[in-house]
């Protein structure tokens, strides 16, 4: 298993149109995410990265939604997603779409999201599944120089382990879009194959979505233990025994 920290930088996407079949990919993620957005309540939602900022999240009851990105027309706050300029426990939900693959330290991104989320807050993560048709295309020559294969694909189980270590509770793990997403391929030609995969090869979806919630650690009250002072201490008992012996000896001498 390769380490998560890496400083090898490849092409990064700035919009969904940078991916092959980007609009199809974006629509599939929005359709899956729309089932969970109404369950997230609060005041503030962060969209981490320019791709997350372009997603339609109007189904969410959270009104204040801000995109955090290093640039671009959708950026509400100019910042890096691994150095969030927000207080601890100040955000109700985070959206991170196709972001872990194209940053040097994905651990730190999740730690920053965990720091800013309130107890009970939600995080939704989408990414590319390496055990899929899209992941197999990563083995083609010169694929590492093209999107989306220029990033590092992490398995959903590995991302779930990171979330569990941070204290998240995994609520949902979904796989969808059973296609290679290669440029020039016709998705309509493989419609029967995609239907077959949706029924029998669900874990082989090219895109995964994880929904997690920050655990709330319950506070266990510790009741003070009041110890009553004993009526007789060992020293007092010893003194009384010595006093009774001396009186007995005096009576015998008399």
Find all residues with CB under 8 Å of 43, minimum gap 6, and list them. 62, 63, 64, 92
Band (pLDDT 50/70/90 cuts) for residue 254 is low
252 pLDDT more than 60:
no
From 79, 160, 171, 73, select the one nearest 116 (Cα to Cα): 79
- In this prediction, residue 140 carries a pLDDT of 74
Interval 36-48: pLDDT, tens: 999 999 999 999 9
Find out whether the peptide bond into 48 is cis, omega within 30 degrees of 0.
Answer: no
pTM of the model: 0.81
Average the pLDDT over each of 47-51, 150-154, 222-226 and give the range with the smallest value. Answer: 222-226
12 pLDDT more than 90:
no
Burial level of 81, CB count in 10 A (0-12/13-18/19+)? buried
Interval 89-130: pLDDT, tens: 999 999 999 999 999 899 999 999 999 999 999 999 999 999
């Amino acid at each position: 298993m390769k380490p998560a920290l890496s400083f090898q930088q490849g092409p990064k996407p700035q919009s969904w149109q940078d991916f092959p079949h980007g609009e199809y990919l974006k629509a599939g993620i929005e359709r899956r995410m729309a089932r969970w957005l109404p369950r997230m309540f609060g005041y503030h939602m962060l969209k981490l990265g320019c791709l997350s900022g372009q997603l339609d999240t109007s189904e969410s009851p959270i009104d204040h939604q801000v995109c955090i990105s290093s640039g671009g027309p959708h950026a509400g706050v100019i910042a890096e997603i691994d150095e969030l300029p927000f207080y601890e426990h100040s955000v109700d939900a985070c959206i991170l779409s196709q972001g872990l693959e194209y940053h040097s330290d994905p651990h730190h991104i999740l730690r920053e999201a965990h720091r800013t989320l309130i107890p009970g807050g939600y995080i939704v993560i989408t990414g590319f599944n390496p055990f899929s048709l899209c992941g197999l295309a990563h083995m083609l020559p010169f694929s590492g120089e093209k999107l989306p294969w220029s990033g590092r694909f992490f398995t959903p189980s590995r991302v779930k382990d990171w979330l569990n270590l941070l204290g998240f509770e995994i609520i949902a793990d979904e796989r969808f879009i059973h296609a290679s997403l290669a440029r020039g391929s016709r998705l309509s030609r493989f419609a029967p194959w995609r239907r077959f995969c949706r029924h029998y090869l669900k874990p082989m979806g090219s895109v995964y979505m994880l929904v997690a919630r920050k655990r709330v650690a319950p506070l266990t009250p510790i009741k003070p233990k009041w110890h009553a002072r004993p009526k007789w201490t060992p020293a007092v008992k010893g003194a009384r025994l010595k006093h009774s012996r001396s009186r007995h000896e005096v009576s015998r001498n008399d």
